Amino acid sequence: MSYSIIISKIFSKFAMFNWGVTILSFIMAIVLYPQLPKEVPDHINAFGAADSYGGKLTVFILPFALAMIGLLVSSKWIDNRYADLTIQNTLTKTLMLVIMILLWYGAGIFFLTYYQLTK
């Protein structure tokens, strides 16, 4: 099986999974919002330490980013732009997979941090 076919199959499954993560992150943001302090971390470095702070509304940035990525990958934009199983299609889908995984990781770190702030 070629790399392009594998990426296309993984991409479609991850695109669906992204909607679940997006909905969960919106629910977490709504539930945690009233309990958060006025100022929350809006950037966490690679070591997990907060190095920038913003208002409570920043808790919704990551869910909106996940929703935008979800709209982009579910719109078939990549397949309409580049023919299926071409190098451009495969590289774009690979890049989008990396972006989704990084956003999921970031969402996990941020919501763990926000949860700890509510205690």
Task: Write out pLDDT tens, residues 82-105.
Answer: 888 889 999 999 999 999 999 999
Per-residue pLDDT tens for 41-96?
888 887 778 888 989 999 999 999 999 998 888 778 888 888 888 899 999 999 99
First to last CA, the chain: 49
Dihedral angle over CA of 60, 63, 64, 68, nearest 10: 170
Copy the structure tokens of residue 59.
């808790």
